[in-house]
Amino acid sequence: MSEAAPLLALRGVTKRFGGVNALTNVSFHVAEGEILGIIGPNGAGKTTLLNCVSGVYKLDAGSIQLRDRRINGMAPHHIAGLGIGRTFQVVKPFQSMTVRENCAVGALFGSREAHMAPKAAFAAADEILELVGLAPKARLPVGSLTIPDRKRLEVARALATKPRLLLLDEVMAGLNPVEVDEALEMIRTVHGNGVTIVLIEHVMRVVVGVCNRVVVLHFGEVLAEGEPGTVLHDSRVIEAYLGEKYAQRQARAEKRDD
């Protein structure tokens, strides 16, 4: 990775709901061009973190910086305008529109680079649907899509905003192994087109397969950070999140490889 200033930097990020800290003093950076994984048990604060980065939630303390610009406190549409796109855990496409029309919405209302006239927006949507493998279904109503295809559409709509940084919130959830492989390939393709990615994921083979680094959250705090191979063998991470069965499976797999 480049030694240049990080694309995204979080310093002391804290978010409270009532008297409960959902995030406490969270600090890490994202280098331009990498894929960073965010993992941890349910309730660890992972989605809350993405909501803070994308402007859905206001911070109670700390700062979030995109390159040399502080973005915490900005409205979500202003943050999107600076080039941060995201997906949501629960996909909510525009049900009255076709797949192509849903994707074009991102090109119409995304980052400053994405704002286009309708004809150009639809042309951009066609390219993105090709990229994520939905081109054959472009003119279908959204209601006819399977869950995996709805997740692809969620990614496509985010990509249509022309993000520099893409935040993916559990795009593999509910997919079978074949669908996971297809989604993995989609992420690699998106990344290969120059998009920096931060992804929340529970499927460890996805984390190992695509992530350059991993940040582990536990009770809203950073428990560990580093390369996947190192982090997933950390005894603290195994105890707090992965469990002994995962560690035993990994040990057996490594023994077979030897």
pLDDT given at position 2:
44
Q: Is 224 exposed, middle or buried (0-12, 13-18, 19+ CB in 10 A)?
A: buried
pLDDT given at position 251:
67
Q: For the domain with range 36-57+75-215, which CATH number is right: 1.10.10.10, 3.40.1110.10, 3.40.50.300, 3.30.930.10? A: 3.40.50.300
3-class DSSP state of 153? helix
Opening angle at CA 63, ends 3 and 222, nearest 5: 75
Q: From first to last of its 258 residues, what are the pLDDT tens digits of the chain?
A: 445 789 999 999 999 999 899 999 999 999 999 999 999 999 999 999 999 999 999 999 999 999 999 999 999 989 988 999 999 988 889 999 999 999 999 888 766 665 677 888 899 999 999 989 999 999 999 999 998 899 999 999 999 988 999 999 998 888 888 988 988 998 999 999 999 999 999 988 899 999 999 999 999 999 999 999 999 999 999 999 988 777 777 767 666 766
Structural tokens at position 190: 């998106």
pLDDT given at position 227:
96
For residue 98, what are the β-bridge partners? 141
In this prediction the pTM is 0.90
Domain boundaries, the chain: 36-57+75-215
